[in-house]
Amino acid sequence: MDSISVVIRFFRNDSNEEEIMTLDAHDYFDDDECEFEIDSIPKYNHAIEYIPDNKNVKKVTLELCDTCNRRKKKVETYYWANRDIELIILSEYKDNSLTYSEAIHQVRLPKITRQENDLYSIGRFSIDNNELICTYYALIEESGPSEEEYRLV
């Protein structure tokens, strides 16, 4: 029996009703292991990718709970402007106490003249004692399978 439970909660743009999906750990994680850890690698980078017909989803909350180690990871993602803007809030808990919190803001910038590649502005902020600390900020240019990073912080 898996000690990891995986729950995805989400809202669609046209509804205020929460929808809930429960996944088996073997369906969520990208591994053929028998035992998973809360930090094992998922099959997809974002919880929204597990949701069928996800075009009009505005908020997704992923909850991973490890009952054996008394750990919990919660990832809340908010989407705006046809998913060109997203805000991710990551919270980690041990024994029901918050141990880590981080916010990630990502914006796909509009294409400008002669720009063919997608350009993203990405900021990561740790949240400690109600203080927001910028730990990373960069512009990322995606060009097919590769990307170029222009790091500001």
Range of the domain at 119: 4-151
pLDDT for the residue 31: 74
User: CA 112, CA 109: separation in Å to the nearest integer?
Assistant: 9
User: CA 8, CA 11: separation in Å to the nearest integer?
Assistant: 10
Question: Rounded to 10 degrees, what is the CA torsion of 87, 92, 98, 103?
Answer: -20
In this structure, what DSSP letter does residue 111 have? P
Quick one: tokens of 114?
A: 């002669």
Instruction: Say if residues 78 and 95 touch (Cβ distance below 8 Å).
Output: no
At 33, is the pLDDT very low, low, confident or very high (cuts 50, 70, 90)? Answer: low
Residue range 24-32: average pLDDT?
87
Quick one: tokens of 98?
A: 């918050």
Residue 1 pLDDT more than 70? no
Indicate the burial class of 138 (C-beta count within 10 angstroms; 0-12, 13-18, 19 or more).
Answer: middle
Name the nearest CA neighbour of 74 among 28, 8, 122, 4: 8
Task: Give the global pTM.
Answer: 0.86
The total of structural domains in the chain comes to: 1
Residue 40 pLDDT more than 70? yes
